[in-house]
Amino acid sequence: MLNYMSAKEAAEKWNISQRRVSILCSENRILGAMMVGNMWIIPANAEKPIDKRTIRYEKSKYISLKPFVKWVGGKGQLIGELEKHIPNDGDRALPKYAEPFVGGGALLFSLLSKNTFDEIYISDINTELVNTYQVIKNNVDELVAALVEIQDSFLPLNDENRKNYYYASREEYNQLILNKYTAVQKAALFIFLNKTCFNGLYRVNRKGQFNVPMGAYKKPTICDEDNLRNVSEALQNVTIYCGDYSKSKTFIDNATLVYLDPPYRPLTETASFTAYSVDCFDDNEQRRLAKFVDEINELGAKVILSNSDPQNVNKEDDFFQQLYSKYRIKKVEATRMINRNSDKRGKINELLIRNY
Ligand SMILES: C[S@@+](CC[C@H](N)C(=O)[O-])C[C@H]1O[C@@H](n2cnc3c(N)ncnc32)[C@H](O)[C@@H]1O
């Protein structure tokens, strides 16, 4: 008679988590595994399946995904530091990832390039940014066609005509937002404006209209077709949500790594830049976020959060030390790009706060 072992016994034998064993069973990857009641039983002589996540990593490791927009507060230059803190423990690595303030997704795309998570959830409060993620996921062919058309019209123009084209496109984009026009056209204009506007800013007025002036680029890449197609493929299993970060709580559990990158707490009153949307992210919002961190910490999630370090300008300012006194706080060096006073750009500290 065939002997069986429980999922717990298999997990111990194969040195993987019990949850991973259940996933392998439900994916029919263990010959002869059966559900009895609500438990899996596995033939005692079953072989440990090859980790498909490792194969996926092997297959895709040469595809390097990049953010499809420049984004204020983008974490491109902090990736190395952030990745040092991503728990990565072979088969015991966390299967779920949530990035509720995704923005341009610098860390998301770096992680997606390695493809190590089973389930991913991203969100942002910026409706037009989220529309663009969704269009890339669902309509990449139409988007590429629209961008190629824009690129072919814009690049041959002289400076004066480029300027006219940019401001006419900005006007058209604001009309599309008002009239809830088709998703693909809005996404194409969103990417075009991002690639040609001043510093890739996304700033809106009180009515929610995009009001960033044109930037100075000789040959901006408006349609990076390869990257858009690779991103589209990588987003196929990603849940994309438009709205407040707190909604991610339904996805988060003790198998989830959560990266929180909220709008910066401004270093000085004049340096404030928080207008990614009409809502602002003030100190009360930072406190609400800290409560959310406590809640997901209680759920057992691994949480990592980044923010500006107020002690760059005021050594006495211990706002985040007070707010996150329960957690580990590390200072890391970064170059701040957004400051009205350009001579204040340079190396400053950022904070990495984590519960593990
Ligand atoms: C610092 S940026 C994130 C940058 C991102 N890590 C990157 O690499 O590009 C913060 C993002 O949070 C979004 N945001 C602001 N308030 C939010 C909220 N209440 N819920 C979800 N997202 C929000 C903004 O639209 C912005 O895209």
Ligand 1 near 200 CB (within 6 A): no
Atom of ligand 1 nearest to the CA of 100: 21
Q: Are residues 303 and 324 in the same domain?
A: yes
User: How many domains does the structure of the chain reveal?
Assistant: 2
CA distance readout (Å), 333 to 31, 209, 269, 306, 312: 50, 34, 22, 12, 11
Q: Distance, CA 73 to ligand 1 centroid (Å)?
A: 8
Residue 275: what pLDDT? 46
Ligand 1 near 281 CB (within 6 A): yes
Answer whether 57's CB lies under 8 Å from 116's CB. yes
Instruction: Provide the whole-model pTM.
Output: 0.81
Q: CATH no. for residue 88?
A: 3.40.50.150
Answer whether 147's CB lies under 8 Å from 191's CB. yes
Choice among 182-196, 270-284, 323-337 with the minimum mean pLDDT = 270-284
Residue 51: what pLDDT? 61
Residue 90 has pLDDT above 70, yes or no: no
Q: Which letter does DSSP use for residue 104 in this model?
A: T
**Is residue 54 domain-resident?**
no
Q: Among 31, 49, 67, give the residue marking a domain's end.
A: 49
Mean pLDDT of 199-211: 89
Q: Distance, CA 54 to ligand 1 centroid (Å)?
A: 30
**Is residue 197 domain-resident?**
no
Q: Which letter does DSSP use for residue 204 in this model?
A: B
Q: Are residues 39 and 84 in the same domain?
A: no
The helix (H) or strand (E) run that includes residue 169 is helix 159-179
Residue 183 has pLDDT above 60, yes or no: yes
Residue 89: what pLDDT? 52
- Buried/exposed 225-257: b ≥16 CB within 10 Å, e otherwise: eebbebbbbbbeebebbbeebeebbebbeebbb
Q: Which amino acid is at 187?
A: A
| Calpha distance 151→153 (Å, rounded) | 5
Atom 16, ligand 1: residue with shortest CA distance: 125
Q: Are residues 9 and 64 in the same domain?
A: no
Residue 171: what pLDDT? 96
Q: Are residues 255 and 336 in the same domain?
A: yes
Residue 329 has pLDDT above 70, yes or no: yes
Residue 63: what pLDDT? 81
Give percent above pLDDT 90 in the chain.
61
Nearest 5°: CA angle at 80, between 79 and 83?
Answer: 80
Residue 101: what pLDDT? 97
Q: Are residues 34 and 74 in the same domain?
A: no
Answer whether 254's CB lies under 8 Å from 300's CB. yes
Q: Distance, CA 75 to ligand 1 centroid (Å)?
A: 11
Ligand 1 near 310 CB (within 6 A): no
Q: Are residues 39 and 76 in the same domain?
A: no
Paired tokens of 315: 């050594």
Residue 61: what pLDDT? 52
**Is residue 343 domain-resident?**
yes
Q: Are residues 254 and 342 in the same domain?
A: yes
Q: What is the pLDDT of residues 20-74, one digit of tens each?
A: 788 788 878 888 888 888 888 999 988 888 765 544 444 445 588 999 999 988 8
Q: Are residues 247 and 343 in the same domain?
A: yes
Q: How many residues in total does the chain contain?
A: 356
Residue 196: what pLDDT? 97
Q: Are residues 261 and 350 in the same domain?
A: yes
Q: Are residues 34 and 69 in the same domain?
A: no
Q: Are residues 258 and 332 in the same domain?
A: yes
User: Bigger pLDDT: 1 or 30?
Assistant: 30
Q: Are residues 255 and 343 in the same domain?
A: yes
Residue 60: what pLDDT? 46
| Calpha distance 70→72 (Å, rounded) | 7
Residue 132 has pLDDT above 60, yes or no: yes
Structural domain harbouring 80? 59-125+243-354
Atom of ligand 1 nearest to the CA of 73: 1
Q: What is the pLDDT of residues 214-233, one digit of tens each?
A: 999 999 999 999 999 999 99
**Is residue 344 domain-resident?**
yes
